Chain A
Amino acid sequence: MIKAEHLSKKFGDKAAVNDISFTIHTGKVTGFLGPNGAGKSTTMRLMLGLASGEGVTLFDSKKLRDYAKPSDLVGVLLEAKAFHPSRSARNHLKILATQGGVPLSRVDEVLDIVGLKEEAKKGPGKFSLGMSQRLGLAAALLAEPKYLLLDEPANGLDPEGIVWLRNFLKSYAENDHGVFVSSHLLSEMSQLADNVVVIGRGKLLADTSMKGFIAGNVGTSVFIRVDGLEKFMAFLDKQKVSYIKKSGGLELDKAKTDFVGKLAYQAKVPVLELSMKTASLEQAFLEVTAGTEEYQGREIKK
């Protein structure tokens, strides 16, 4: 288990990370979410000792620098383009393997895993963002570490690559590894992560399971469309059931389909459509991070 405790970091007067504590469990993928400028990358750098700040991060109860071979414990991908552009992909990984005390035979293995075996001799300077991400992932996987810390690994990957990454990380976590991954692709994250850590303006907003996060922040609702809307509305008013008129039907907040279906039956109106509106990670994320965005765009006036 990785325990990040009271992480803080200031840039001048501005607190980029403000007393954040959370836990990353083995066997699970933990998503790390936050708006742009929320402090995600800084938090990861603090955890790895790459940025100076306050707080401590314990990897299985010990600081990373207390391990003789940190590469056995954690593999990182903080930036896709972190390589010398003219040094071949294989040589780039060979250097990392050498420093991490990993057998050089592992280099070709990880290149094969991420699908870059054919590009091994090429300088990665001309790699696309997706290929660079794959090389970064190969670097993180070199020592087959217990934990992976990945900052936006899905950026630039094609749809096939994203599916591959999702399946790979899930299976990696299932083998008693811990995966901590930040991403802006919320639909992807909702399929990938078991737990979520959410931050905004450097503060911790949530550290919980994915299901708990969504359920706790966005209520479910039921949409119903009937033949005889006025009659059904009058019936609901009589029953003191609240609703919102929407898209030619009604939306009933925090209700369940069987309950609403029964109401329609009692009101004797034919049901044309009845559906559960499940909350999404995006809704929950926007709900939780509302007002914490560092940068906000505006609409273009027509």
Chain B
Amino acid sequence: MTNELKAEFKKVFTIRSTYIILGLMLILVIFFGFYVGGWHSQKLDLLDPYRLQTIAKQAISFLSVFSAILAVLLFTHEFRYNTISYTLTLSNSRQKVLLAKVITVGVIALVATAVAGSLTPLLANWGIHANHLHLVTQHFYYLDLLWRGLVFGLGYTMAGLVIAALIRNQIGAIVALLLIPTTVEGLLSIWLKSNTVYLPFSALHTMLGAGTDIQKASLAPIDAMYVFLGYLAFSGAIAWYLFIKRDAN
């Protein structure tokens, strides 16, 4: 298992796209934190005692898409370039290989979420002061932000991995990852109305409560988390089964 895990980390950090995505994430964290959340703050925002916490949640919400894309790339590169034939013959268990991928993208997601969630409020605060603005005293529910942020980041990334494992085609998986939370769930919301919160990504956003309309829905964050985890467990079990059983090509 250790060898599989080491190999997966090497796969992530020996391709250009990883560094491009991580670089882009860092640029966006700085831009979103310092400029959008800080320097460019509106007067009304400056009176919000939860302003920095909201910025942290919004950053996590936005940047988790990137760690999910990293997960998709890590998985689908194997099939696109057929390195999966090596990966599976060098290991004596497909389960170990998949578990190594899950752990790898999980660690990346947690680190990315922690960086985005902690750096953006600091940068925002710096941006506000740099522009000689005054922010009211801030309240932080650290534990609340911690569990919601980490579950969101991890959940979104795992959703990306599950989509990749189900579709296996790189373009298809990225398109699905970008369209399901936005277009597909958006269109379904016309029909489902307040029940939209029971859709997977809507539930995840509800759980995070990053200031979208969905948070007004009548679903507690913990319940929203269970809804999302239900979808993730179900689709994850199918993806796991297919990875074990399907031909590797």
Cβ < 8 Å to B, chain A residues 57-74: 64-71, 74
Give the Cβ gap from B82 to chain A, nearest Cβ, in Å: 4
| Known A-B contacts A70-B89, A95-B14; A82 and B81 likewise in contact (beta carbons under 8 Å) | yes
Decide yes or no whether B131 CB sits under 8 A from chain A: no
Q: How would residues 1 to 42 of chain B score, 1 for a CB under 8 Å from any chain A CB and 0 otherwise?
A: 001101100110011100000000000000000000000000
Which one of B3, B14, B86, B91 contacts A87 once the chains associate, using CB atoms below 8 Å? B14
Task: Return the contact of A70 from the options B14, B15, B91 (Cβ within 8 A).
Answer: B91
Residues of chain B contacted by A95 (CB below 8 angstroms): 7, 10-11, 14
CB distance from A58 to the nearest CB of B (A): 15
**CB <8 Å contact, B77 and A66:** no
A97 to chain B, nearest CB (A): 9
Q: Is A122 an interface residue (CB 8 A)?
A: no
Give the distance to chain B from A16, nearest Cβ to Cβ, in Å: 11
Residues of A within 8 A of B83 (CB): 82-84
- Cβ contact within 8 Å between B248 and A51: yes
CA distance A83 to B81 in the complex (A): 6
Please give me the residue from chain B that is nearest to A74 by CB atom.
Answer: B89
* Residues in A neighbouring B248, C-beta threshold 8 A: 45, 50-51
B81 touches A64 (CB 8 A): no
- Chain B's interface size range is 20 to 34
Flag if B14 contacts A71 (CB, 8 Å): no
Check B247–A96 contact: CB distance below 8 A: no
Instruction: Give the most central of B15, B89, B246: most A CB within 10 Å.
Output: B89
Stretch at the interface among A18-26, A98-106, A152-160: A98-106
Where the two chains meet, the residues of A that have a C-beta atom closer than 8 Å to any C-beta of B are 45, 48-52, 64-71, 74, 76, 78-79, 81-88, 91, 94-96, 98-101, 139
Additional 8 contacts, C-beta under 8 A, given A71-B90, A85-B81, A99-B86: A48-B88, A50-B248, A79-B82, A83-B81, A86-B15, A95-B7, A98-B6, A98-B7
The 4 A-B residue pairs with the shortest CB-CB distance, nearest first, are A99-B7, A91-B14, A82-B82, A50-B248
